[in-house]
Amino acid sequence: MNLKDKTEVLIITSRVKYVPEFNSNILCNSLQTGEIDFIPKLLSNIKKYSEINKFTIVHDLKIDNKFSIEYQNILRKLSAKLGFRLITSPTSIKIPSQISATIAFKYGLKKINTSYFLFWEHDHIFIEKIDWEIINKCFEEGGKMLRFNRSKNYISNSYQLNKDNTIDHFETSNLSTFDKNLLRTNFYSNGPFISEKNFCQNLWEETNYEFPNWNGFFGGFIEGPVNQFMLSEEMNMQKDEFKKKYPIFLYGGDKFKPIVKHNGDYETIYKVKGYGVKFFLVLIKKIKKIIKSILNLIF
């Protein structure tokens, strides 16, 4: 199996995020996407380390936000220049990004024409070249999804528990039975991964699946409800039954160093025009100085 020739890159991007579950009054602007060479550098990185040359970029476009519109115009020009396919998923800053990004994920997946795809949120980069022999072996042996690790791999046979036996983290990972360079895991992540298209489509389209409007313990965007559902499955299925339904693996063996890096920076701004977070921070500092000066005079 030569998976590389059957794989397309699916990149999800957005200039602006709205996360009301944390604060209903602020938007988050991606600093990287404001740079004209952001997308060219990203594509160059993926090409260099994966040798995949076919790209689809889905833009979670906020039609009522000027930064998002500016980014859309940049993407259109770059699409014509660099040859990637641009898919636009229109939404609004009034819609939480948990929902709008999930819509973009699912919409983009339907546009993929290859049997396999490399999923990529725009704020990641490769830091090491991938070994296609390991990837091919994974899928030849029945794997359906291979995640690229963002942190050092460790063997973990059971859930991580707090002192009161509540679950702190429920990802487990063990050596695969067929390759020491692969770990078997029970966990889904929005970090970069290669997946069989049909498997991922089924994973995202489970009958009780709900679009998330929350963030937290189970993860953000589509990650949350997928992991919540998979944990329910794991707790109510036989081990072999669960493994057969969810053949998900981590790239690299035990203690394998990260092969990808999360590289996103955001600036928060208030939805009310003219009032940015930096303005309020400066104002608070000035007030503190005035209070301190008054206290010094008094005492």
One-letter-per-residue 3-state SS of 113-162: CCCEEEEEECCEEECCCCCHHHHHHHHHCCCCEEECCCCCCCCECCCEEC
Those residues whose C-beta lies under 8 Å from the C-beta of residue 75, and which sit 6 or more positions away, are: 13, 39, 57, 59, 86
Q: 93, 109, 106: which is closest to 273 by C-alpha?
A: 93
pTM of the full predicted structure?
A: 0.87
Q: Is residue 55 part of a domain?
A: yes
Residue 256 belongs to some domain of the structure: yes
8 Å CB contact between 193 and 138: no
- The answer as to whether 280 is a domain residue is no
Q: Residue type for 242, please? A: F
What is the per-residue pLDDT across 43-67, written as a single tens digit (0 to 9) for each? 999 999 999 999 999 999 999 999 9
Q: What is the DSSP letter of 166?
A: -
Cα dihedral across residues 255, 261, 265, 271: positive or negative: negative
DSSP state of 212: -
Per-residue pLDDT, 46 = 98
| Helix (H/G/I), strand (E/B), else coil: 280 | helix
Q: In degrees rounded to 5, what are phi and psi of residue 151?
A: -135, 170
User: What is the reported pLDDT for 299?
Assistant: 55
CATH number of the domain encompassing residue 173? 3.90.550.10
pLDDT of amino acid 275: 47
Residue 211 in any domain: the answer is yes
What 8-state DSSP symbol labels residue 276?
A: B
290 lies in some domain = no
**Of the candidates 61, 89, 102, 90, which has an alpha carbon nearest to the alpha carbon of residue 212?**
102
- Residue 294 belongs to a domain: no
Give me the number of domains the chain comprises.
1
Is residue 98 in a domain? yes
- Tell the burial category of 270 from Cβ atoms under 10 Å away from its Cβ (0-12, 13-18, 19+): middle
Residue 272 included in any domain: no
Q: State residue 280's pLDDT score.
A: 55
Task: Quote the DSSP letter at residue 28.
Answer: E
With a cut of 50, list the residues of the chain below it in pLDDT: 274-276
Residue 142 is given by DSSP the state T
Please report the pLDDT score of residue 208 as a whole number.
58
Domain that holds residue 241: 3-264
Quick check: 25 and 75 in contact, CB under 8 A? no
